[in-house]
Amino acid sequence: MSDTGATGHPFRHGGSSPRVLLRRLREIMAAEEGAQARLDKLSEAIAANMVADVCSIYLRRDDDVLELFSTVGLNQEAVHKTRLNWQEGLVGYVADKALPLNINEAQDHPAFSFRPEVGEEMLHAFLGVPIIRTGQVLGVLVIQNRTSRHYTEEEMEAAQLVATVLAEIVAAGDLLEKEDAAEVDRLLHRPEYLKAMPIVPGITIGTAALHEPPAPKHKVFAADVALETERLREGIVRLQKSVDDMIARNSQLSAISREVIEVYRLFAYDKGWAKRLEEAVLSGLSCESAVEQVQAENRQRMRKATDPYLRERLHDLDDLSRRLLRSLSGKTRRDELELPENAVLFAHALGPAEILEFDRRKLKGIVLAEGADTSHAAIVARSLGIPMIGRSEAAIERVEIGDAVVIDGESGEIFIRPEADVISGYQEKLALFSAAQKEYAQLRNLPCVTRDGTEVELFMNAGLVLDMPHLETTGAEGVGLFRTELQFLVSPQLPTASSQEELYRQVLDAADGKPVIFRTADLGSDKSAPYMRVVREGNPAMGWRGLRMSIDREGLIRPQLRALLGAAQGRELNVLLPLVTTSDEVGAIRAILEREVERRDKLGLGQPTSIRVGAMIEIPAAAWRLEHIAPQVDFLSLGGNDLAQFFFASDRESEKMAGRYDHLHPAFLSFIGMTATKANRAGKPLCYCGEQAGDPLMALALLALDIPRLSVSASSIGPLKKLIRAVDLNDLTAWLEPRLQSPAQSLRAELEAYAADRSLPLR
């Protein structure tokens, strides 16, 4: 098909060049055709321009599978059928590393994976380039040839140029069907977890602001190349004038500082830089896309540069590109200084003076791509008490303006678009440091017992290792509910058994002998991990989730049980099964657990000193038939949030249903009382888990319903202990019993009056 191997250059056939290719891409995107037809023509154009035997475009699905979306030179029947797992084959290797791969013999590479259906037996040379947008790999562009050859630097740059443009088109949704475009959008906005260098300790739950905001949404290609070229020239002139004005305003700079600024000005007037920008526009790109393209090339060079002086100069070019994008959009530096409330500022680098430019009432956290704990910026941030994290370029690439973020300057953890459970966990950590906690700390070592002598056990809910120190600070009896699904939700891939075991071991070590009840991963519904391909359901809360998913997917539950057994070796293991509906489901999981115990015996591995299995009662059917479930477990937990949701047929995620039904409704309390009676009759300890129990009035009702075990958020333990030590349980039980038959919609007002009459502390 080609003699590329002989010439060694992709642009010596028919005058092909990146400029010609971009013009052709622009023509394809302007045509009135379907998404697949456009995509196929793009592949044809790229193959022709690169003089390649094969050009393939793989796009990433939101379960992290790479699907062949288009190809020229491979079997067309493989399109949309060939799917590679993350890290699988050379394509998966490129996606995972987020770096180009250029090899002359594809089959000699250790990552090579043969897929007979695509028909690539006769191919040798391979060039794979990741398609990246905002730090996320959206797919891989693959160029292949029958000859054995190494692609030149010019060919590499051409492929990277095309991949950059493809990323913009794919993200804009112009190249995909509606459903596929929505999947890409979900991929770009999935929760992100990163860990970097902690610089200034402290926690911030806030909103992302960018020190260098991206250009506003813009078209990838220019409608009128001549007008776009003139617009670029005008933008560069405005940029040069702004640099001249900056130097004039700072005429008193020292000689060294002035020299640095003068070099900066030379770059602003550099004709080579301007020419590269103009060439990109003449190829058909919009001004903004041209600036971003040249900026991406400079950043690629910056990553490879080892000379500090060269890196600094490339930083200058990067900053000039951002200034030019502002100039093109008509924005000023003053616009960028406006921050949202509780702002977390993300920046490549910050000078100490720049921090002082921002409104300190709004600036609550800083994340830098660079930075060090001894920098001047760190010194200023520390004196202002602003948490700071450094060395996280990935965070700068992946965050967007307005994203919800959580940063922990003590651990260096960054959560972008975090799950609700993560936000809740950090809110707990913040709450525990409030002034009110000092009073509750004094109760930490006192017994949790009512005035008339009834002992009450207060456990703590947790989901992160960082929650574990609260056991000591609150005096909780143990962890009544450890939500293991958080590890699954923040990981880009299914956590291995060894990584799970390490986490559970850390949790048990931190508990220091106090009991920890691990709830197996409650995935599904609104808790879908990024690598999971969950079927969309009309009512996911009542669908394939929790224990149901675990039974159907042993590959999910077996590694977790294996990890729990390993972590608890020589200690007590408590396993809680979520969303139990029938006794058969408990039996199915116990059988899997038994097989894992037998496996450890065969391997000569140690076992936990005891294994206790519990059922979480969150469905009315399970509560109604509790006498059949109880004999198969060692303990029971009531999951209040879901139980109330299903009891009232009221979606707890629905804004319209929020607050419509009170969990202090007599009917719901009666139902809980019936469940408690059945549990006590079966001789199985029952604990009430969930945020409801943190409501002091609900806690009073639960105690009166003979549920003396509560598992609540860490910040609720102090207030509840204070309340419990003040209440007379016999009096409370006698007061509540007749009111369970009340026609009232809620007993809240009456319970508040009861507490006020007896001077019970509700705050």
**663 in catalytic set:** no
**DSSP secondary-structure letter at 455?**
B
**Which two three-digit tokens encode residue 696?**
């002091």
How far is 401 from 420, CA to CA, in rounded Å? 19
Residue 461 near residue 692, CB atoms below 8 Å: no
What is the side-by-side strand order in the sheet with 404-408? 192-195, 413-416, 404-408, 203-210, 343-347, 363-368, 388-390, 197-200
Q: Which among 55, 287, 448, 689 is annotated as catalytic?
A: 689
Amino acid, single-letter form, for residue 334? R
- 65-72 and 54-60 beta bridge pairing: antiparallel
Task: Provide the strand spans (E) within 303-442.
Answer: 343-347, 363-368, 388-390, 404-408, 413-416
CA-wise closest residue to 520 among 480, 485, 491: 485
Residue 527 near residue 490, CB atoms below 8 Å: no
9, 15, 16, 20: CA torsion to nearest 10? 150
**Which two three-digit tokens encode residue 24?**
């052709």
Task: Specify the residue for token string 């379960």.
Answer: 63
Q: Which among 109, 287, 376, 663 is annotated as catalytic?
A: 376
- 610-617 and 457-462 beta bridge pairing: unpaired
CA-wise closest residue to 268 among 292, 307, 242: 242
**376 in catalytic set:** yes
Give the CB-side neighbour count of residue 680, counting CA atoms within 13 A: 11
Task: For residue 281, report the phi and psi dihedrals to the nearest 5 degrees.
Answer: -70, -40
Number of C-beta neighbours around residue 739 at 10 A: 16
SS3 143: strand
Would you name the residues annotated as active-site residues? 376, 689
